[in-house]
Amino acid sequence: MHFACEGNNSCKSFPNALFSTVPELDEKGTGLTLVEQTPPEPWKKDARPPQEIVPGEVQVSFLAHACMELKLGDKVMIFDPWLTGPAFARGWWLLHEPPADWLERLSRADLMYISHVHSDHLSYPTLEKLSARNPNIPIYVGDTSMPVFCKLEQSGVKLNCIKVCSFGVWQEINVDLRFMILMDGVHPDMDTCILVDYKGHLILNTVDCTQPNGGRLPKNVDIMMSDFAGGASGFPMTFENFKGRYTEEWKAKFIATERKKLLYYKTQVVRDVHPKLYCPFAGYFVEAHPSDKYILDTNTKNQADQLNALINKYSDRIATWTPKPGATLDMALILNDSVNHGLAIVDPPTGTKIYKDSWDFDFYIQKINESIESEIFAYPNWVPFYYQWAGFRDYNLVLRMIETDDNFQPVEGGYDFLVDFLDLTFPKHRPAREHAYLQIKNRIGVHRQTVLKGLFWDDLYIGFQNRILRDPDTFHYKFWNHMQILLPHHPPDWDGLLRKQIHDDDHTPGSASGEMRGSINVL
């Protein structure tokens, strides 16, 4: 999304810059010099001159959030379908009501692109419904070091045709249609974007990339789309006031400043690319659950019309489109300067429901909360077992983890424990040595689901499911990068732990739990 998370709370993960300078040995092999890396421009290879297209031949339809349907001649391509259920556990919900026939549209599509692993783009509730109808649809993803579908097995969703693509290589679909996937220069391990070429006409979708292709992008494309909203991070809304910094006034000022920065940054990127038409998307989410009203009230986001107004102000030759779910844009009419561009966009019929007002909270939250009663949590040894599986250590940080209710108050039977990452021990009290301290209160259902399934901590942090206090007030990049990106791809072997616990203890799990608390210091 945009630069470092605590310098801009629109980030959804943490930076690992790729395209900058690297040290290389000099010609004599006796010293180092800094060499600037220049991202390639692979779209220039085998570039095709634009051919004539006719009305109806290329149509772009908005479904919801980051999901677009592209009709490209006789092929239909779908981007990032999040069309049902929540994202980031129970923290994000769809702002818009997708078209009523969204599942039919997905099922009959010819191919799909999913940009990255975050659940507002890789939506397992959506894909579960799709797989029941068409598990064989080809789904294209980039060859990121964190595989997009690294959690597919434990999701239980059946998808039979996942195609992993090298970056910057044309994927030929037919004589008229091809596309290439490009990496993000700041988050190359997970974020990607896509360039679609139909008869020489280019559609660029930079999705959530902070610096798509290291900032080198094709110019004068026909259509460009990107994120715009921000608000996709726990910082600073989920941070508890400590030593007077995180007051409500400070948060409001910080958020307003970061939103403004993001608006002008996106405006500049669009002006540099100079598309014929620009469409802001991938920002239409809402913290809809009543327990997240504080986040909803404080986590203000940019509006699509704000960004489009800035683009129109500084670049009057770039047309803009604020899409409604179900609306369709015709590329041939947009490219024809003799045609009123208003005729190129067909909005949904009058009376069509645009914004959601119900989200089936109970169904999805009940599924999350099923993890609370898992047998594994009768045995406190799950704590060292989980953190040993996670593999983060040799870092002078002490974590206090507290399980809470929806209002972040400790719950009866919930765990409250310390982890010392310097030697990966679990003390009863904070160590006497000087150390960094991080206290995290997590809603018990999401916390236990995250633990059981070995999920990345994005559901907790980006999903606003915790409250964080740190002393000193320092961002521990190494820790967060590990827990959000570098966890093992396979979940912990809970069955193995249960077998060992039952074998080692003569009691049933229920009666053993009190005794076994001696094996892990629970506060």
Tell me the pLDDT tens digit for each residue of 205-216. Answer: 999 999 999 999
* Torsion 60-66-67-72 (CA) sign: positive
Which residues have C-beta within 8 Å of that of residue 245, sequence separation ≥ 6? 473
Calculate mean pLDDT across residues 470-483: 96
Assign 322 to helix, strand or coil.
coil
| Range with lowest mean pLDDT among 11-20, 82-91, 276-285 | 11-20
What's the rounded mean pLDDT across residues 138-162?
A: 95
Express as a percent the part of the chain with pLDDT over 90: 85
Is the distance from CB of 276 to CB of 335 less than 8 angstroms? yes
What is the distance between the alpha carbons of residues 283 and 286, in angstroms, rounded to a whole number?
A: 9
Cα separation of 277 and 298, whole Å?
32
Q: How far apart are CA 168 and CA 43, in angstroms?
A: 7
Query: Nearest CA to 270 among 200, 220, 304, 321?
Result: 220
- Per-residue pLDDT band at 125 (split at 50, 70, 90): very high
Average pLDDT over residues 474-499: 95
pLDDT tens-place string over residues 357-397: 999 999 999 999 999 999 999 999 999 999 999 999 999 99
Would you state the pLDDT for residue 10?
A: 35
pLDDT at 18 over 50: no
Nearest to 148 by CA among 185, 116, 123: 116
Please give the backbone phi and psi of residue 395, each rounded to the nearest 5 degrees, phi first. Answer: -145, 130
Q: How far is 262 from 254, CA to CA, in rounded Å?
A: 12
Statement: residue 519 has pLDDT above 50: no
User: Does 9 have pLDDT greater than 80?
Assistant: no
| Residue 167: φ, ψ to 5° | -75, 145
Contact between 216 and 222 (Cβ < 8 Å): no
Residues 6+ apart with CB under 8 A from 431: 398, 420, 422
Residue-wise pLDDT for 304-331, tens only, equals: 999 999 999 999 899 999 999 999 999 9
User: Would you give the DSSP letter of residue 338?
Assistant: T
- What the block records as the tokens of 16 is 């690992």
Non-local (6+) Cβ contacts of 358 within 8 A are none
Q: What is the pairing mode between strands 319-320 and 277-280? A: parallel
The first and second tokens of residue 238, run together, are 């989920």
Q: Which two tokens stand for residue 88?
A: 């980031």
Q: Assign 420 to helix, strand or coil.
A: strand
Look at residue 6 and tell me whether its pLDDT is greater than 60.
no
Rounded Cα gap, residues 90 and 446, in angstroms: 8
Instruction: Report residue 444's pLDDT band, with 50, 70 and 90 as the boundaries.
Output: very high
Residue 389's pLDDT is 98
Furthest-apart CA pair in the chain: how many Å?
83
Enumerate residues 6+ apart whose C-beta is below 8 A from 410.
402, 403, 404, 416
Residue 38: the pLDDT is: 61
- The tokens for 84 are 């049902």
| pLDDT, mean over the chain | 91
pLDDT of residue 512: 39
Residue 521: what pLDDT?
Answer: 61
The residues near 71 (Cβ < 8 Å, ≥ 6 apart) are: 57, 58, 59, 60, 61
Question: Could you give the CA distance from residue 456 to residue 218 in angstroms, rounded to a whole number?
Answer: 33
- Integer Cα distance of 10 and 4 in angstroms: 9
Task: Write the CB contacts of 397 (distance below 8 Å, at least 6 apart in sequence).
Answer: 421, 422, 435, 436, 437, 438, 476, 479
Task: Report the pLDDT value the prediction gives residue 288, as an integer from 0 to 100.
Answer: 98
Q: Are 176 and 53 in contact (CB under 8 A)?
A: no
pLDDT in tens, 224-235: 999 999 999 999
> Which of 133-137, 239-243, 246-250, 406-410 is least confident?
239-243
Residue 520 confidence (pLDDT): 60
pTM above 0.85, yes or no: yes
Per DSSP bridges, beta strands 192-198 and 177-183 are antiparallel
Q: What angle separates helix 509-516 from helix 494-504, to the nearest 10 degrees?
A: 80
Residue with tokens 């645009």: 354
- List residues bridging with 104 in a β-sheet: none
Amino acid at 315: S
Encode pLDDT of 320-362 as tens digits.
999 999 999 999 999 998 888 789 999 999 999 999 999 999 9
Provide the total of helices (H) and of strands (E) in the chain, helices listed first. Answer: 14, 23
Span 46-98, pLDDT tens digits: 999 999 999 999 999 999 999 999 999 999 999 999 999 999 999 999 999 99
Helix or strand run (H / E) with residue 469? strand 466-471
Backbone torsions φ then ψ of 248, nearest 5 degrees: -65, -35
